[in-house]
Amino acid sequence: MAKVEQVLSLEPQHELKFRGPFTDVVTTNLKLGNPTDRNVCFKVKTTAPRRYCVRPNSGIIDAGASINVSGRRWTSDEEDSA
């Protein structure tokens, strides 16, 4: 079986933490890195689109480059009106 190449590095690796209070919009960041010698495309999806927004949610990362993705958690009031 062929070895699977790691095409994206994530920082933090396992989870994003949103720190309250959740009466205000809370933002956290994710760094996506491309350790390969080719361009890599990405897409970030959420299972709770009424609570979270990710920007940019898709794009292309150049070979050897990285980008920052911003995750935003809506306030409770914004959730209710969505």
If one counts every other C-beta atom within 10 angstroms of the C-beta of residue 50, the result is: 12
Q: Give the amino acid at 62.
A: D
Q: How far apart are CA 78 and CA 50, in angstroms?
A: 8
What's the mean pLDDT in 17-24?
Answer: 87
Q: How far apart are CA 11 and CA 61, in angstroms?
A: 15
Determine the topology of domain 9-81 in CATH: Immunoglobulin-like (2.60.40)
The residue extents of the domains of the chain are 9-81
Which pLDDT tens digit goes with each residue over 46-70? 899 889 999 999 999 999 999 999 9
Whole-model pTM: value is 0.80
The SS3 call for residue 59 is strand
